[in-house]
Amino acid sequence: MSFSLDDVVRLARLARIELDEAAARDVAAKLGAIFGLIDALQAIDTAGVAPMAHAQDVGLPFREDVVTARDCRDLYQTQAPAVADGFYLVPKVLE
């Protein structure tokens, strides 16, 4: 499989990663090689096989609906790039 520059630019946009043209060209070549490896999967007959999502086929565990976490907002916000009055600051999204 080969990836065009446009394919890579679209993919990078979806993944929210900025790529300049030189980086996009390098990524296109390397993704081509990686999908050369991955595409071998297409030839395998998997009719009737259930997908295996996890190593242990166990159900979701349940617990009592009680408060278990303490309020860590102030602690967690010490790691944030920009906060004010207990809120995380982001660029304006609504006019």
Partner 1 sequence: MRTIAELSAALRSREVSSVELAQDALSRAHASQSALNAFVTLDDEGALAQAHGADARLARGDATPLTGIPIAHKDVLMTQGLRTTCASRMLEHFVAPYDARVVARLREMSTVLIGKTNMDEFAMGSSSETSYFGPVRNPWSTQCVPGGSSGGSAVAVAASVVPATTGTDTGGSIRQPAALSGVCGIKPTYGVCSRYGLVAFASSLDTPGAFARSAHDCALMLTAMAGHDARDSTSLDRPIEDYSRILTTQADAKPLAGLRIGLPREYFAEGVEREVVGAVETAIDAMRALGATTIDVSLPMVRHAVPAYYVIAPAEASSNLSRFDGVRYGHRAEHYRDLIDMYCRTRAEGFGAEVKRRILVGTYVLSHGYYDAYYLQAQKVRRLIAQDFVRAFETCDVIAGPTAPTCAFEIGAKTDDPVQMYLNDIFTIAANLTGMPAMSIPCGFTKKGLPIGLHLQGNYLDEARVLNVAHRYQQVTDWHLRAPSPQPSPGMRGEEAERKRGG
DSSP string, 62-81: ---S-------HHHHHTT-S
User: What is the closest distance, in whole angstroms, from the C-beta atom of residue 88 to partner 1 in the complex?
Assistant: 5
Q: CA 73, CA 88: separation in Å to the nearest integer? A: 10
Residues 34/2, Cβ–Cβ less than 8 Å: no
d(CA 41, CA 31): 16
User: What is the per-residue binding string for partner 1 in 41-70, x denoting contact by CB under 8 A?
Assistant: xx-x-x--xxxxxxxx-x-xx-x-------
Which of 5, 6, 21, 80 binds partner 1 (CB under 8 A)? It is: 80
Site string for partner 1, 5-24 (x = CB under 8 A): ---x--xxxxxxxxx---x-
Task: Name, in order, each residue with C-beta under 8 angstroms of 24's C-beta and a sequence gap of 6 or more.
Answer: 5, 8, 9, 12
Asked whether position 79 contacts partner 1 by CB under 8 A, the answer is: yes
Residues that bind partner 1 (CB under 8 A): 8, 11-19, 23, 26-27, 30-31, 33-42, 44, 46, 49-56, 58, 60-61, 63, 72, 75-76, 78-82, 88, 90-93
